[in-house]
Amino acid sequence: MSSSSKVPAGRLARLGGFASLAGKLAGGMLAEGAKRLAKGEPGSRMELLLTPANMKRVTNQLAHMRGAAMKLGQLLSMDAGDLLPSELADMLARLRDNANPMPPKQLAAVLSSELGEDWQRHFADFTFKPMAAASIGQVHRAEHDNGMQLAVKVQYPGVRQSISSDVDNVATLLRISGLLPQGVDYQTLLEEAKAQLSREADYLQEAAFIQRFKDALNNSPEFLLPEPITELCRPGVLVMRYVAGMPVESLQAQPQAVRDRVVTQLFCLLFRELFEFQLVQTDPNFANYRYNADTEQLVLLDFGACREYSQEFSQAYRQLFAASLQHDQPGMDKALTTIGFFSEQIAAEQRLRVLALVKLACEPLQQDAPFDFGQSDLAARIREAGTALSLQHNYWHTPPADAIFLHRKIGGLYLLAARLQAKVNVRALLQPYLR
């Protein structure tokens, strides 16, 4: 866990943080440029900027800022690398669970603000050192005065109030640094990022989403979810029954059958979310999944990024998958148009390249047998094709936000399946929803 540091909560303090970062990046570029010039190796602006030293500066500063400053990078880098250079996308991904925790004094102030000056009366015990510190809040172990073991998520101060300005500041920083392609109209994506982050910062809404998922999965004993303690939940504090489990990545050491079963359960859940619940938890962070070895249950955590989908959207994806299985390109084109992929005026060649990218993403569906994710370089090929589409062909295309968040979830499952070297018949899991 990173060392603690006070979260800059005021507007001026946060603006100063971005200005400091911009200055450090500029200084790093000058130093790298002088070093390369002395060696007779002039580099491009991108090469000068994306040095290990500069990437460390960005990581450290955003880990200190927390909030939307960290979250935006995750949103920008979630669409198969189409927007950001892979080096920057990888760096921002490393921020996901590497925030600096709040010092105890600031933590106590937040708890007092949310639960009252006598907040400690609600707990028989409260551990000030957090179990985890992420972009919007940190999680602590506690004990209810009735003996129940709890997990308490506490939001960093100023996060909700700074979302809009943080998003704008990060976008400005990326633009002036030359990391965003020239002429790109990304305002719609930025507005969607602000809306999504505002929803994630509402812990009362997250508690309601947890309950909806608990109700929907009531007859699915393979999943284990925390129970929100509603009387103690506030917009900035989420109190839940503690659920034990090991990190899902640690299942790499488990037998093949265990790894296959867990990934199978996650794909089953994805299809139920999209086609039955029409409510998808869109954050694919591995930390949102744990495994309880004693009960052999998959633990589901963090429901802040849930997104509701319309019947029309759900049906369009059903048609897209069905057309993909039939190698029906006109049918895929029609479904993608319904989803909103081709709302902009794009050339016929560009349209075909989008279709090719979607076909590539549907590769696990093309065989009625277990797909070996561990032996596949699918994620790398999707990323390479997406980058070629957006950069090499001077083509920028922003899919609809609903699709971006869904693809983020699917891409995350592919990465987890590859990490666990799982073998899953995804086609067989999908088929019941296409009938």
Kindly list the catalytic residues.
Answer: 283
| The three-state (H, E, C) secondary structure of 209-230, written as one string | HHHHHHHHCCCCCCEECCCECH
Cβ atoms < 10 Å from Cβ of 52: 9
CA 230 to CA 389: how far, in whole Å? 47
Report the candidate in 117, 115, 15 with the shortest Cα–Cα distance to residue 65.
Answer: 15
Number of alpha helices (DSSP H) and beta strands (DSSP E) in the chain: 16, 13
Distance between CA atoms of residues 255 and 209, nearest Å = 33
What DSSP character marks residue 82? S
Nearest to 286 by CA among 184, 412, 382: 412
* Tokens standing for residue 311: 């019947």
Q: Which tokens go with 263?
A: 């990934």
Amino acid letter for position 235: P
Reduced to 3 states (helix: H, G, I; strand: E, B; else coil), residue 352 is helix
Sign, CA dihedral 228-231-233-238, equals: negative
Residues 6+ apart with CB under 8 A from 225: 210, 213, 214, 217, 243, 299, 300
Paired sense of beta strands 223-224 and 297-300, if any: parallel
CA distance 66 to 136: 6
**Nearest alpha-carbon partner for 2 in 110, 143, 127, 102:** 102
Please spell the DSSP secondary structure of 121-154, one letter per residue: GGEEEE-SS-SEE-SSEEEEEEEETTS-EEEEEE
Tell which residue, 307, 304, 140, 288, has the closest CA to residue 224.
288
CA distance 85 to 180: 9
* R_g (Cα) of the chain, nearest Å: 22
Q: Is the dihedral of CA 394, 400, 387, 378 positive or negative?
A: negative
